[in-house]
Amino acid sequence: MIKTTLSSFAKSIGFNSQNYIPKEGASFSLFRIEVLSGLTVALALVPEAIAFAFVAGVAPLSGLYAAFIVGLITAVFGGRPGMISGATGALAVVMVSLVMDHGAQYLFATVVLMGILQLLAGVFKLGKFIRMVPQPVMLGFVNGLAIVIGISQLSQFKTLNAMGQLEWISGNTLYYSVGFVILTMLIIWLLPKITKAVPATLAAILVTSVLVLALKIDIPSVGDLASVKGGLPIFSIPSVPLNFETLKIIFPYAFILSAIGLIESLLTLNLVGEITNKRGGASQECLAQGFANTVTGFFGGMGGCAMIGQSMINVKSGGRTRIAGIAAAVFLLIFILYTSNYIEMIPIAALVGVMFMVVIGTFAWNSLKILFFVPKSDALVIVLVTVVTVLEDLAVAVIVGVIVSALVFAWKSASRIRAVERASVREKGAKVYEIEGPLFFSSTDSFLELFKPEQDPDVIIIDFAGSKVIDQSALKAIEDIADKYNSFGKKVKLRHLTRDCHRLLSRAGQLVVDSDDDPDYGIAVDYDVKLGIFGR
């Protein structure tokens, strides 16, 4: 009885044992790979979380707590096993002005509201709209994000001078740092060719750290960024006035953060899905992200979303189940509580080397080749999304890419409409226009240009068997052409229109000829003939 109840509860929250235990079985070796992959991810999360906290203008522990809480909750309940979530730069840059103008407490309140909005997106299953993102946009997103990750790592080669300003490191410090970055990358590249017993990324970090400590080489380490040491996150309601004025301040930020977070998370979900051959889970990911951010705001975290870099580290280190994500969050908490002194010794160069390998693995190099073979419009979208991602941010880039792709599709579809003219077999002296191609707002002008009212005979048959009437603009164009022929005293008959077209054509409805083989697709909107308005 208890077992059955627990099983039902587990299924109700999306728990699947296959997400936690690999299909090959719960062998120790597979479990070890998952745990070691989680450890590797946790090590890479530390400097990222600290750096993004600095960008947002909050304490380093706010970034680390967000990485722990968001990472743990999404690992357990998220839509895709193998994904890693935490504090991200895409969100941090939006938070800067809020923190500067109103303080960290307003940020925590914003993160709570952000989570609620994401929960609503999950409840109403808005995540499914990620399917509308075309492949060229995905390629541009991946390439742009790879470039952004690479550029962000360059800041690790800067340090504070005596005036408190950032400046590039130089001399032996720079040479040693670059050398260890290259060494880390070489180990990650070569080790899998020798053995896969230990994740190459983890081995590279350990080897580089040991060499730097043994040779007493003075290069920047994690401890130079900030102290990792801290206690357990403490529950606290954000200290902000609970009134409409506060809502006016935080809602715009919460809306933007929730949108950016979901877009980045859902695109990462698709990317990880392509690698792990998994599908679906968009709505579940929205719910998990929303729950995670709502909780994070009450524990002093800066909020977060999926991290493509760490997700790539995880899946390429062998992490395929939820165990790796849970392990990463647990290790991160252990670092904060007990082993901060050791983590702070890790050279930044080792972690930069790891991220550069992520950049190389993330960038869609095949897209450079296909730019010369795909349609020019697709190539334009790939380049455009890449550039906008680098110059602006991910959300703007994806929106721009989708809009441009939609406009290109509309333009191409508009050019596909044409008419085959022939004499009618059934009605002597009548002329038939057989319409081919979709009829919608973008193709109505081309549709109207197909006809010759002055030259045509007295009876015209317009056959839509090879076409599809999509929107109100199409219906308006049909009525306009019917009115045009009527003005010349000529009769028009409309064939093979759907039943709702019969009903929606207010003026030309009497011209529709019923047929047993009329199509049955639906028009995208409902049209009130009397009021002339559209709904649904």
Helices (H), 236-365: 244-276, 282-298, 308-316, 322-337, 340-343, 348-362
Predicted pLDDT of residue 4: 45
Q: What angle do CA 195, 206, 86 make, to 5 degrees?
A: 100
Sign of the alpha-carbon torsion through 522, 526, 528, 531: negative
Burial 460-490 (b: 16+ CB within 10 A, else e): bbbbbeebebbbbbbbbbbbebbeebeeeeb
Across the chain, what does the average pLDDT equal? 84
Predicted pLDDT of residue 416: 85
**73 CB neighbour count, 10 Å cutoff:** 22
Phi, psi of 438 (to 5 degrees): -70, 140
Do the domain assignments include residue 385?
Answer: no
The verdict on 104 and 159 lying in the same domain is yes
CB 22 within 8 A of CB 321: yes
pLDDT above 80 (res 505): no
* Least confident window among 87-91, 129-133, 330-334, 405-409: 129-133
pLDDT class for 208, splitting at 50, 70, 90? Answer: very high
Phi, psi of 187 (to 5 degrees): -65, -45
pTM above 0.85, yes or no: no
- What residue numbers bound the domain in which 484 lies? 415-535
The verdict on 440 and 359 lying in the same domain is no
pLDDT class for 511, splitting at 50, 70, 90? Answer: low
Query: What is the arithmetic mean of pLDDT over 481-510?
Result: 79
SS (H, E, C) 67-108: HHHHHHHHHHHCCCCCCCEECCHHHHHHHHHHHHHHCHHHHH
Q: What angle do CA 218, 219, 223 make, to 5 degrees?
A: 105
The verdict on 372 and 451 lying in the same domain is no
Do the domain assignments include residue 7?
Answer: no
Predicted pLDDT of residue 146: 84
**Which of the listed residues 318, 352, 378 is the one where a domain comes to its end?**
378
Per-residue pLDDT reduced to its tens digit, 274-308: 887 777 789 999 999 999 999 999 999 999 999 98
Do the domain assignments include residue 443?
Answer: yes
pLDDT above 70 (res 372): yes
Of 117, 118, 119, 111, residue with least CA distance to 299: 111
Query: What is the arithmetic mean of pLDDT over 168-182?
Result: 91
pLDDT class for 468, splitting at 50, 70, 90? Answer: confident
Predicted pLDDT of residue 24: 45
CB 143 within 8 A of CB 382: yes
In a 10 Å sphere around its CB, with 0-12 CB exposed, 13-18 middle and 19+ buried, how is residue 11 labelled? exposed
Do the domain assignments include residue 143?
Answer: yes
Per-residue pLDDT reduced to its tens digit, 54-84: 778 888 899 999 999 999 999 999 999 999 9
Predicted pLDDT of residue 19: 52
- Most confidently modeled of 103-117, 253-267, 330-344, 425-439? 103-117
Higher pLDDT, 86 or 223: 86
Do the domain assignments include residue 278?
Answer: yes
Do the domain assignments include residue 261?
Answer: yes
Query: What is the arithmetic mean of pLDDT over 28-36?
Result: 86
The verdict on 421 and 370 lying in the same domain is no
The verdict on 239 and 120 lying in the same domain is yes
Do the domain assignments include residue 456?
Answer: yes
Show the beta-strand stretches assigned E in 329-484.
Answer: 418-423, 431-439, 459-469
pLDDT class for 168, splitting at 50, 70, 90? Answer: confident
* Least confident window among 142-146, 328-332, 432-436: 142-146
Predicted pLDDT of residue 525: 38
> Residue 104 has which token pair?
């960290």
The verdict on 319 and 426 lying in the same domain is no
Predicted pLDDT of residue 521: 59
Predicted pLDDT of residue 2: 37
Per-residue pLDDT reduced to its tens digit, 16-31: 444 544 444 456 778 8
Predicted pLDDT of residue 514: 65
Number of structural domains the chain divides into: 2
The verdict on 433 and 301 lying in the same domain is no
How far apart (Å, rounded) are the C-alpha atoms in residues 358 and 28? 27
